[in-house]
Structure 1
């Protein structure tokens, strides 16, 4: 295979690989800090209040990871021995190491969906009231955008149907909004409209927005103390964490509007791969899924040529655009992936 000229490695494995910019680092270095365990870090409180207001919640809590944010949000609604219903490819099922079961005794009950987006009618058929003989459903979980669905965006009307369904059964709703910022930019739906869907919600600052770490869990009324006690029990309480919160605040103020560039770059990659004959699923946001015969081998060959992408299954590749890759980087990456696919045995 001819070696393509790569000026620098191009990392498209995830939007979590971004590095803080110089201005972000300056904001972090200048952050006013205190002991967040005592509620005395002003930079953390500013971030929590800002994000809570954006989504229309009374409070938010800064945590180290999105996994912890999801765990706390669901645990506020579901007790040990009860169940939460989600789609079969949900992040809480596929990528959180069984944490709900291992740490909380919560059962996840799943159903297949298209692109990770639950159908309200199919969801309704899954709900169990519960009695001494059967496990009762206590919450529904939705993910927007959907990771394994290729960055799929829920229509807001579908989310409202799911919330109405939950209300009719007196169930909670948790919205995994790790990439809700991408959904917002792609759909134009106001953040408060998304916030109105969940009784709890998680949002991530270290994916498309590009902060080095941190997520927030958005909290219902009168649950802040309980949530903070749970965060401590899970080992997530931190001290002078305003240094990280300042990076997240900078990301929110400076990197939200530019997410549309990532979406355009994903579309650019998809079009180039499709023109080369690849089987590409149309991206809605910043995630491109490509069906191949041997995903691990394709990813390995691309890595050797300076392009990092993720095998997302035996026959599925994931390519994720983000603020650290330019349109030119994406064109180069598409050329490399196309070259590898053209040289693969099944194409020969």
Structure 2
């Protein structure tokens, strides 16, 4: 099967397996794991923050950030299609006791004007704003890249109102590769950041959160409370080190595959690309085929391709390390075959 459901399905590389086998380990709850320490120091440096912390998932990292930054009854501003709002099980309310204030962005990117207009403070009838959350790249918008310049505009608003910013940078590395800029160009405009090691970078488990020493001290306790304190975790940190040192530059290949696939989709009658393709995510509109996204995904599966129904008539296709150029060419052929067969049926 050609698996285009998500870059989370990526299998770890042989090098990662070797490094896991060789990893020097210790009890990380006691701060004794040297491989974890090496990963955290590397990540903090790459992200331009004082310290970093290994967490089990991007969702755990995002929720720890909310828990550290916010007080009970506060509000977070975030884009209406953001992962924190849509895909984290209502955890901000369940764990932190805060309410989200979602606002509509353009291709997933909020404007500084809209963010400032949404900030609330001293009125006793309103929840005060405790945090602003950004997402880069933006998953539901189709892997949209938010430039550092756009982030700076919101950062300046946040500074005026003394509100922290957290960046859900699960795929921040993709944004950095597209714009050919270091991750610090983006992270200088946020208080804290989360990046995933287990998506396009191919590690089997884990994410990193980074920020000030004070933030990480508090984050470490929240990680413990959420059951994220790990023992001999160096076996998980080792592939994470490989991910950060060897797997970022190659994301360009995933982007090229996605762009080529998008060009083929637009050339097939009754199919079209639903949003501009910037990174490794392709949103495909199948409405003109008179099939629902679920029906179309079933046809893809019958032809050896896995994808995700993302909306009633939108199918999401995600390129990654385990998808070759030949796989992408085969996928394009399958799409043409499905459309041709459907027209004739």
Instruction: Provide the aligned length of Structure 1 versus Structure 2.
Output: 339
Q: Mean alpha-carbon deviation: is it higher for 214-223 or for 204-213?
A: 214-223
Residue 183 (str. 1) matches residue 181 (str. 2)? no
Q: Which residue of 1 aligns with 2:338?
A: 340
TM-score, normalization by structure 2: 0.96
Deviations, residues 278-298 of structure 1 (Å, cap 9, x unaligned): 211331000000112210110
| Among 277, 281, 284, the residue aligned to 1:287 | 281
Give the match's secondary structure for 2:201: coil
Deviations, residues 162-197 of structure 1 (Å, cap 9, x unaligned): 000000111110000000000000012221111112
Q: Any conservation in 2 of the 1:130–1:137 contact (CA below 8 Å)?
A: no
Residue 11 (str. 1) matches residue 11 (str. 2)? no
Q: Any conservation in 1 of the 2:210–2:216 contact (CA below 8 Å)?
A: no
- CA pair 98-344 structure 1, distance change in 2 beyond 3 A: farther
User: What does 1:22-41 correspond to in 2, within 5 Å?
Assistant: 22-41=14-33
Q: Any conservation in 2 of the 1:205–1:251 contact (CA below 8 Å)?
A: yes
| Among 192, 217, 234, the residue aligned to 1:200 | 192
Residue 111 (str. 1) matches residue 103 (str. 2)? yes
**Large movers: runs of 4+ above 3 Å:** 341-345
Tell me, in whole angstroms, the C-alpha distance in 1 between the residues paired with 2:28 and 2:94: 27
Residue 310 (str. 1) matches residue 312 (str. 2)? no
1:35 deviates by 0.3
Tell me, in whole angstroms, the C-alpha distance in 1 between the residues paired with 2:146 and 2:341: 37
Q: Any conservation in 2 of the 1:73–1:219 contact (CA below 8 Å)?
A: no
Q: Any conservation in 2 of the 1:31–1:243 contact (CA below 8 Å)?
A: yes
Tell me, in whole angstroms, the C-alpha distance in 1 between the residues paired with 2:286 and 2:82: 22
Q: Any conservation in 2 of the 1:209–1:252 contact (CA below 8 Å)?
A: yes
Tell me, in whole angstroms, the C-alpha distance in 1 between the residues paired with 2:67 and 2:252: 33
1:223 deviates by 2.5
Q: Which residue of 2 aligns with 1:74?
A: 66
Deviations, residues 100-150 of structure 1 (Å, cap 9, x unaligned): 111111111001112111111112111111332211011111100000010
Residue 233 (str. 1) matches residue 233 (str. 2)? no
Gaps of 5+ in 2: none
TM-score, normalization by structure 1: 0.95
Give the match's secondary structure for 1:23: helix
1:259 deviates by 0.4
Tell me, in whole angstroms, the C-alpha distance in 2 between the residues paired with 1:95 and 1:303: 24
Q: Any conservation in 1 of the 2:66–2:96 contact (CA below 8 Å)?
A: no
Tell me, in whole angstroms, the C-alpha distance in 1 between the residues paired with 2:285 and 2:32: 50
User: What does 1:67-216 correspond to in 2, within 5 Å?
Assistant: 67-216=59-208
1:213 deviates by 0.7
Residue 298 (str. 1) matches residue 292 (str. 2)? no
Q: Any conservation in 2 of the 1:267–1:282 contact (CA below 8 Å)?
A: no
Gaps of 5+ in 1: 1-8
RMSD of aligned alpha carbons:
1.2
Tell me, in whole angstroms, the C-alpha distance in 2 between the residues paired with 1:130 and 1:111: 21
Residue 259 (str. 1) matches residue 259 (str. 2)? no
Tell me, in whole angstroms, the C-alpha distance in 1 between the residues paired with 2:115 and 2:250: 35
1:82 deviates by 0.2
Residue 55 (str. 1) matches residue 58 (str. 2)? no
- CA pair 94-341 structure 1, distance change in 2 beyond 3 A: farther
